[in-house]
Amino acid sequence: MSTYLPDATHAAAARSWVASANAPACDFPLQNLPYGRWRRPGDSDWRLGAAIGDQLLDLAEAGLVPHGDMNRLMAWPLSERRRLRQALFEGLHEGSPRQADWAAALHPQASVELGVPCEIGDYTDFYASIHHATTVGRQFRPEQPLLPNYSWVPVGYHGRASSIVASGQPVRRPWGQTRPPEGGTRPRFGPCRRLDYELELGLFVGAPNALGEPVALGEAEAHLFGVALFNDWSARDLQAWEYQPLGPFLAKNFASSVSPWVVTMEALAPFRAPLQRPDTQPAPLPYLDSEDNQQQGALDIQLEVWLQTPAMRAAGHAGDRLSTSRAADAFWTPAQLLTHHTVNGCNLRSGDLLGTGTLSGPAPEQGGSLLELSAGGQQPLRLSNGEQRSFLEDGDTVVLRGFCERPGWRRIGLGECRGTVLPARTGSE
């Protein structure tokens, strides 16, 4: 039995008294109601808000949540989360008597600062797309792109939470060591030359589990709070030199960007999909397998990557869409990632972030990184204005977008995750 089922708050015909929420292409209609943290320019403390159209409703001013601590909200039991969603839905619904009071608790999103959604204690990044793993693996090991453990283990590593930044914050090109030149033994040290993005989803942990107490697959979704867009910026040249034998380190932890609005698991209830597991792959071990997970464990979220170069910006060009893919094409579901993470007794805390790993689709043009789209830099992408890119250049802006669309249901979106590359700090090599 699924943890999250569609209910009256998903009714496609429901409309809000906030007019912008009723626009057909709006990411934040009444049926979505994602949570985030915001503050007025100059304020130091974060406040909690729910996005509705191009506005946000302050949860304290609306009398719904008296504090600004998202992690506390994320820890709530499911019944309390459902009660809050129901109260928001009713109060923001067309004709609600709340309109008179709540109109004063609305703030235009464009007039405030939107932050990282919560205090992220720990961050783990997975490798859940078999298409990404195969394409990248082929570049390094043409004879064996997928290592044998991939079929069985949701591969991941512990990342760094301190450098996760809010969407809109610029990201500085890192310095680091890279492989010695051909025939040499001394590594080069300097600014990254192969800077990349990674199209991911960030899964926020809701209710925690105690140390030593694994979360069974059937319980895993109750421990998930919601989903945001996540760009795991990557320095490919640093990565290639440092990654053996312990995995990614400084190539990954200089910055990751996260979108401000966490779309809840409740909001995603109508947009679930079967797990896409190629026939050539074995069934997972029993602790990672269930009928329910196979039938509807995946998230049916459409994903897009956009790139705007400085030349495009100067010409008033909004940018090129580099790729599209679907989160439902991942090899592991969110529940499988969470269950595997806790199977050894590891405790997850409210607000911890699980990155899915780059979500590439099966087709070559569905790569979720430039490493894939440019074949490791060997086939530069030709952009619509005649420019080319193998990897990111200074001033490039990367925007991730995501949305759910299905006949019979109201479209909802994840908003965007945006970041612009700043030049490396000056220094000497």
Active-site positions read 132
Q: Minimum distance between the CB of residue 177 and Ca ion, rounded to whole angstroms?
A: 20
Per DSSP (E only), the strands in 187-330 are 188-191, 195-196, 199-205, 224-231, 234-235, 256-258, 263-264, 272-273, 298-299, 302-308, 320-326
Amino acid at 362: P
* Structure-block tokens of residue 375: 């074949």
Q: Per CB under 5 A, which region of 61-69, 81-89, 195-203, 421-429 contacts Ca ion?
A: 195-203
Which residue's CB is nearer to Ca ion, number 89 or number 230?
230
CA atoms of 322 and 373, how far apart (whole Å): 8
Which residue's CB is nearer to Ca ion, number 65 or number 354?
354
CA atoms of 246 and 248, how far apart (whole Å): 7
* Structure-block tokens of residue 155: 């591969």
CA atoms of 358 and 197, how far apart (whole Å): 9
Q: 306 phi and psi, to 5 degrees?
A: -120, 145
Q: Minimum distance between the CB of residue 368 and Ca ion, rounded to whole angstroms?
A: 9
* Structure-block tokens of residue 233: 């910026």
| Helix or strand (DSSP H, E) at 190 | strand 188-191
- 3-state DSSP assignment of residue 188: strand
Amino acid at 353: L
Which residue's CB is nearer to Ca ion, number 109 or number 333?
333
CA atoms of 129 and 198, how far apart (whole Å): 12
372 forms part of the interface with Ca ion (CB under 5 A): no
Size of interface with Ca ion, in residues (CB under 5 A) = 3
Q: Per CB under 5 A, which region of 20-28, 29-37, 59-67, 193-201 contacts Ca ion?
A: 193-201
196 forms part of the interface with Ca ion (CB under 5 A): no
* Structure-block tokens of residue 250: 């400084």
Q: Minimum distance between the CB of residue 85 and Ca ion, rounded to whole angstroms?
A: 30
Positions in 60-99 near Ca ion (CB under 5 A): none
Which residue's CB is nearer to Ca ion, number 232 or number 266?
232
Residue closest to 302 by CA, chosen among 405, 373, 387, 381: 405
Give how far Cα 405 sits from Cα of 29, 266, 326, 402, Å.
13, 16, 11, 10
Which residue's CB is nearer to Ca ion, number 84 or number 251?
251
Q: Report which residue's Cβ sits closest to Ca ion.
A: 232
125 forms part of the interface with Ca ion (CB under 5 A): yes
Which residue's CB is nearer to Ca ion, number 17 or number 123?
123
Query: Which of 27, 58, 196, 198 touches Ca ion (CB under 5 A)?
Result: 198
Q: Minimum distance between the CB of residue 126 and Ca ion, rounded to whole angstroms?
A: 8
Residue closest to 354 by CA, chosen among 254, 266, 226: 226
Q: How many residues would you count in the chain?
A: 429
Q: Per CB under 5 A, which region of 111-119, 227-235, 253-261, 397-405 contacts Ca ion?
A: 227-235
Q: Minimum distance between the CB of residue 228 and Ca ion, rounded to whole angstroms?
A: 15
Q: Per CB under 5 A, which region of 57-65, 121-129, 290-298, 405-413 contacts Ca ion?
A: 121-129
Count Cα neighbours of 250 within 13 Å in the Cβ-side half-sphere.
12
Q: Minimum distance between the CB of residue 396 and Ca ion, rounded to whole angstroms?
A: 19
Q: Per CB under 5 A, which region of 190-198, 213-221, 323-331, 378-386 contacts Ca ion?
A: 190-198
Exposed/middle/buried for 387, CB within 10 Å: 0-12, 13-18, 19+?
A: middle
Query: Which of 27, 58, 196, 232 touches Ca ion (CB under 5 A)?
Result: 232
Which residue's CB is nearer to Ca ion, number 369 or number 420?
369
Q: Minimum distance between the CB of residue 88 and Ca ion, rounded to whole angstroms?
A: 33
Give how far Cα 377 sits from Cα of 19, 190, 349, 365, Å.
46, 19, 39, 14
CA atoms of 421 and 419, how far apart (whole Å): 7
Point out which residues bind Ca ion (CB under 5 A).
125, 198, 232
